[in-house]
Amino acid sequence: MRAALRPVAPLVLSVTLLGSLAACSQGDPSGGTPAATEGDTALASSSMPAGSSGTGSSGTGSSGTESSGTGDGGVTVGPDEPQPARGTVDVVRELPHDPSLFTQGLQVVDDQIYESTGQYGQSQVQRRPLAGGEPTVSVPMADDEFGEGLAVTDDTVWTLTWRKQVAHDRDPQTLEVRREVPYEGEGWGLCHDGARLVMSDGSDTLTFRDPATFEPTGTVAVTAGGTPVQRLNELECVNGAVLANVWMTDEIVRIDPATGAVTAIYDASALQQPRPANPDAVLNGIAALPGSENVLLTGKLWPTMYEVRLVG
């Protein structure tokens, strides 16, 4: 019987191989998962540029974490002028950070840290003392919302959702939602420059918005040496510029919001080494420190925040 069955084995293998190839051809051609919808938990936030078909990143499992992707090693700079300066970060001090927080937005106001986090069923907005300690206020988001960037204005805390296309106007003291405002596209990063909100959507475009109504007032395309800079993520408005994490890189770019030109690229790869084992534990979170030229940096699921000087 074993001898009689022997010729069948190559046929079984061929059929199995053909089935596997067919299955692959129906999914993401890059090997990742297909693009998700808002209710899916295979992908999340910052996993692909807005409007992507999902070919840029591989998804995670069903835990509702962001897809990790592979990144490209850094920001691509074209040959055009102006050329961005190259710089690094100089660590001034280290502060503790809750390693369970999937950091999406970060801002320091007076002596308080405001932080928004992601993941379906785990997203929240909290406020806690800069000096350390437990949150004084923490408000969960709805289970179908993947939290994104955050910006504090004089009378509002604005928070974004990834694909639900809803911004939350929150009471700055209680952090409870006062109203929801719809917007088009994905929500990634957000900051306030004192006169307007600046929002990223994972592409190379920054959108300016009215801080009271959240209505768009303009856009600018971000380039480095003339080359578009995709995957702009968490933002911080500081000294007339916009600092941005570039998702899945260890680089922070400084952007002139008037032209969209990247004027500096800072290498932050020395921070949080060794990195947490989770591939989603990437650099994300920038907060200017009041009364200082320094900024606070952290990452998703990092146990540490770093006060740094941007050098260069």
Radius of gyration of the chain (CA): 21
User: Phi, psi at residue 161, to the nearest 5°?
Assistant: -120, 150
- Pairing relationship of beta strands 190-192 and 177-182 according to DSSP bridges: unpaired
Q: Mark residue 84 as left, alpha or beta (left: phi above 0; alpha: psi -120 to 50; beta: remaining).
A: beta
DSSP 8: H
- Which stretches of the chain drop beneath a pLDDT of 50? 1-71
Q: Which residue has the tokens 């920054």?
A: 206
Within a domain: residue 28? no
E strand segments, 183-268: 190-192, 197-200, 205-209, 216-221, 223-224, 227-228, 232-238, 241-246, 251-255, 262-267
List the CATH number of the domain containing 196: 2.120.10.30
Within a domain: residue 23? no
Residue 187 and residue 161: Cα distance in Å, rounded? 6
Residue 269 and residue 149: Cα distance in Å, rounded? 22
Within a domain: residue 141? yes
CB 159 within 8 A of CB 148: yes
Secondary structure (3-state) at 178:
strand
Within a domain: residue 30? no
CB 84 within 8 A of CB 223: no
Within a domain: residue 32? no
Within a domain: residue 45? no
- Pairing relationship of beta strands 251-255 and 304-311 according to DSSP bridges: unpaired
Task: Please tell me the predicted confidence (pLDDT) of residue 155.
Answer: 94
Task: Please tell me the predicted confidence (pLDDT) of residue 72.
Answer: 52
* Whether this model's pTM surpasses 0.75: yes
Q: Please, which contacts does 47-54 make with residues 24 or more away whose CB atoms are closer than 8 Å?
A: 48/202, 49/202, 49/203, 49/230, 49/231, 50/185, 50/186, 50/188, 50/201, 50/202, 50/203, 51/185, 51/203, 52/202, 53/28, 54/28
Which residues form the domain of 148? Answer: 85-311
Task: Please tell me the predicted confidence (pLDDT) of residue 217.
Answer: 98
Within a domain: residue 37? no
Q: What's the number of domains the chain is made of?
A: 1
Task: Please tell me the predicted confidence (pLDDT) of residue 63.
Answer: 31
Strand order of the β-sheet with 85-96 is 232-238, 241-246, 251-255, 262-267, 85-96, 304-311, 295-299, 283-288
Residue 7 and residue 11: Cα distance in Å, rounded? 8
Within a domain: residue 197? yes
